[in-house]
Structure 1
Amino acid sequence: MPITQIIELSNKQGMQIKLSNWGATWLSCELPVNGQTREVLLGCRSLEQYQQQDAYLGATIGRYANRIANATINIDNKQYYLTANQGVNQLHGGKLGFDKQLWLIQSCSDQQVTFLLISPDGDQGFPGELNVTVTYKLTDDNQVIILFNATTTKTTPVNLTNHAYFNLDGEISKDILNHKLKVNANYYLPVNANGIPNKGLASVAMHDMDLRQPKLLSEKLLESAERQITGGYDHAYLLDKTKAIAAQLISSDKKVTMNVTTTKPSLQIYTGNFLQHTPNRHNGEYGNFAGIALESQFLPDSPNHPDWPQPSCFLQPEQIYEHYTAYQFFINQ
């Protein structure tokens, strides 16, 4: 049996990240800013707290990130009933998703670690044995590159992501509402109060959902009818793949900028609307909006919407699931 371990990676710039094989979780991200260390990732004080919190802090999410309506999917005219864990729906892979599994450390070096998980046929209701690896690379140009790979024995939907929450001002600062965010997307997916898509893709020009120019997160945050439904941003944006980056986040003091690039078709923007009472590193608790998650993925409930303009979320036995997401940090001294 594997034991819980913490791995530290560092680069020539003095950046350091910490990871654990519990949930293949990204625990910490420390940047050298003006001669001081700035922790820009939300996290808990102990692994026990990680195991108790329900905000998915920094965890690898699978087998299917985001929501599947009514926890059911149809493959070749056969209905599969998945484990529901958010009312009648499934969220982030079910009650015992990949975030709650102890992964094997397949390989490890100073700037790279690969975690391995075998998800059995029928895990949380999903068909097929899924063989998964997640590799974290820390480069010398301050990129954290996350590589996701998987193979299956039966046709199954696969949607792996990382659920890191960022606060580029430093995670001890109150919230991320004075950050600026840009997302290169012309469309977003409207959802109901349960986060389930209830319409087709909509233009970002509707309902004040446009993030194509850098926008202060606090700007009319709860005035948009769409954001009132979800208590803030909690929406998937279909990325404009003609643009080099998916998103850019800028700290309120403008000292740290983070660029996100990914091979995935969409980005779930979640402003931590329900983070209240999540344990933090300092024997206290985070409040709502303490961090923002930028989760690369297929659109939510994709197994039930094959018509959406993105590659299929179903992995076939002869295929390899292969995606990456990179978070690159720029420090303005």
Structure 2
Amino acid sequence: MKQYFLSAVLLGLLVGCNNSQNKAESSTMSDSTSTVTADSVSGLPERSRFQKDVDGKKNDLYVLTNSKGMKVAITNYGGRIVSILVPDKTGKLVDVNLGHSSIDDYLANESFFGTLVGRYGNRIGKGEFKLDGKTYKLATNNGPNSLHGGKKGFNAKMWDATPAGNNVLKLHYTSPDGEENYPGTLNVDVTYTLTDDNGIRIDYQATTDKATVVNLTNHAYFNLNGEGSGSVADHLVEIKADRYTPVDATLIPTGELAKVDGTPFDLRKPVAIGDRQDSDDQQMKNGGGFDHNFVLNGGQTAEPRVIATVTSPKTGISMDVLTTEPGVQFYGGNFLNGKRTGKAGKPYEKRNAFCLETQHFPDSPNQPKFPTTVLKPGETYKTTTEYRFSVK
């Protein structure tokens, strides 16, 4: 606290000066660790606009930095990524992550922007599943189905945050037995690490005291031209998947693992998103564009591997997605409707972003041929995903 006070005094003395070294230490941190506060870094939301009690806990904004100048802002509420500042081909920092500039905006406009998703990411058909002979009824918050953990999933929870140096933030949440009608007390730990090769690594770990189902992911919305800059139709996307899971009209998988050959879902070579998303293919009509799970080649792996790459021809920013997961949901922002205004003060319109949500497959608890999402006592759920940025 003393160090934070001294930093504040120095800041006052240096008003009007362009001092790039001006930093303040987070008041939530011990003397042995430090981080950059958001209100001292150009291009990031003000930290003070996130410092508010939510559900009886103190919310804050934490900024991770690396040696390359990249910056990532994360808040407790939903454990969500608020901003991702990466250099473009000219060296200018660009915020490529959709989000809001204050905690009040997130609370007033509940969304999945940048958030952690659980207890079960994606959809569960008809809002129910059977486990050990018992049927569990879930909230149906997406037509007839349950989506992203229910009416108040992990995206709407306050996570305990522990910074660990300039580039690591550890988050914890305990989901009680019966929350959103899922069985078992689930202890979840998520670690965000900003690497020196401009990667945002997300390590997930969870344990339970009763058999349950778990499917955790992050729901960052990306625009590599910069958030608030309009359509992502020009972005080139490549996904290493020979198959995908077709869906019905409510976006629940049919159970088939269909080949991508000869379909708009063949993204094994770079393709402009806009060249495929308005196809007359029935599957594309069902999703209103891309909103499908891709079955990643190689299945679940022990170590993360590159499974997708997206590049902006305009900024030169390229993003590799690495994961240990067997699937990824490629979503083209079809349901953005201009009702939410972003950090740049511009509304987020339809298809102004894309998501690559690493995961087990949707509706796995009801699909015996899909990789299981059941977690039992004594087992540890572990997955890793990384979003790695570069310039091409």
TM range (shorter): over 0.9
Correspondence 1:1-333 to 2 at 5 A = 1-33=56-88, 34-223=90-279, 224-241=281-298, 244-253=305-314, 255-276=316-337, 277-308=339-370, 310=371, 312-332=372-392
Amino acid at match of 1:13: K
Whole-Å Cα distance in 1 between the matches of residues 70 and 126 of structure 2?
A: 43
TM-score (norm 2): 0.81
Whole-Å Cα distance in 1 between the matches of residues 72 and 224 of structure 2?
A: 14
Gaps of 5+ in 2: 1-55
Whole-Å Cα distance in 1 between the matches of residues 379 and 76 of structure 2?
A: 26
Alignment root-mean-square deviation, CA: 1.5
Amino acid at match of 2:82: L
Amino acid at match of 1:133: D
Report the CA distance between 1:143 and its aligned residue: 0.6
1:32/1:38 contact within 8 Å kept: yes
Amino acid at match of 1:225: Q
1:114/1:136 contact within 8 Å kept: yes
Whole-Å Cα distance in 1 between the matches of residues 282 and 144 of structure 2?
A: 25
Report the CA distance between 1:199 and its aligned residue: 4.3
Whole-Å Cα distance in 1 between the matches of residues 72 and 355 of structure 2?
A: 17
**Cα separation, partners in 2 of 1:47 and 1:70, compared to 1, 3 Å:** same
Amino acid at match of 1:231: G
Whole-Å Cα distance in 1 between the matches of residues 208 and 347 of structure 2?
A: 39
Amino acid at match of 1:283: G
Amino acid at match of 2:63: E
Q: How many residues align?
A: 330
Q: Share of identical aligned residues, percent? A: 37
Whole-Å Cα distance in 1 between the matches of residues 163 and 225 of structure 2?
A: 33
1:61/1:163 contact within 8 Å kept: yes
Listed one character per residue, the Cα deviations across residues 31-50 of structure 1 (whole Å, up to 9, x for unaligned) are 12223221111111221222
Residue 18 of structure 2 corresponds to which residue in structure 1? Answer: none
1:245/1:260 contact within 8 Å kept: yes
Whole-Å Cα distance in 1 between the matches of residues 213 and 285 of structure 2?
A: 30
SS in 2 for 1:185: coil
Structure 1 residue ranges (4+ consecutive) displaced by more than 6 angstroms after TM superposition: none
Deviates more, 1:111-120 or 1:197-206: 197-206
Amino acid at match of 1:287: E
More strand by share: 1
TM-score (norm 1): 0.96
Listed one character per residue, the Cα deviations across residues 226-246 of structure 1 (whole Å, up to 9, x for unaligned) are 112211100000101289411
Whole-Å Cα distance in 2 between the matches of residues 155 and 244 of structure 1?
A: 29
SS in 1 for 2:192: strand
Amino acid at match of 2:384: Y
